Amino acid sequence: MPGGTDRIAHWAARNGFAWRPVPEQEWFHAWEPYDTMVSPPRYINSVPRQYRRGAITFVEPWMGDEDTEPIDRTWMAFACHPRLIRKASARVGESFLTRVAFIETPPPPKVLLGDKEWDEWAMTFAVQQSEAQAAFRPQVRQVLRAWKFQGHVELRPGGLILQVAGMGPTPENLEHLAKFAPAVLDAALEERP
């Protein structure tokens, strides 16, 4: 296992999370392709957890070969909830997971939400502007900006995917993501006033 794995296992056990060094790959690959991220060959260090509003699984996408370290390492979070029904994604900044070539599955078109602050800060992708506006409602945009989000976020029917740029697979970053991902999920599920 790659460096730091023992620290992740210890953090998960200490905080009541399950930990799987080599999780079932099919479950993660079923989420692919991602709108604007590269799909890794495999996933490691899975840390699933049931939250009050859904299940969230944290995992490291391994972008290296079997015997080589990848250029960089990060966490991803996958949340499942049946009330997530919209399909849209957004990217703030660039990371080593950013897709630059789209051979088989092009991304949805880039759209503007009509929120000047958001549109200058994030690139949003959806089939229609109305779908992106429904997915990235004001409360979702507010949470992402408040946490100074950088990375990829994708909402789709039944699920939410997060990748936070600059968050290598350390217990400290997992601690941050374990607070951030439920906040985004809560905002995505929040009823309109």
Question: DSSP secondary structure string, 159-186?
Answer: EEEEEETT--S-HHHHHHHHHHHHHHHH
pLDDT above 50: residue 193 = no
Alpha-carbon dihedral of residues 62, 54, 154, 126, nearest 10 degrees? 150
Which range (24-38, 41-55, 86-100, 134-148) has the least confidence? 86-100
Distance CA(122)–CA(112), nearest Å, equals 9
Over the stretch 120-155, which tens digit does the pLDDT of each residue have? 999 999 999 999 999 999 999 999 999 999 999 999
pLDDT digits (tens, 9 = 90+) for 74-113: 899 999 999 999 999 999 987 656 655 555 667 789 999 9
Domain borders along the chain are: 5-189
* Strand, coil or helix: 58: strand
| Structure confidence at residue 3 (pLDDT) | 78
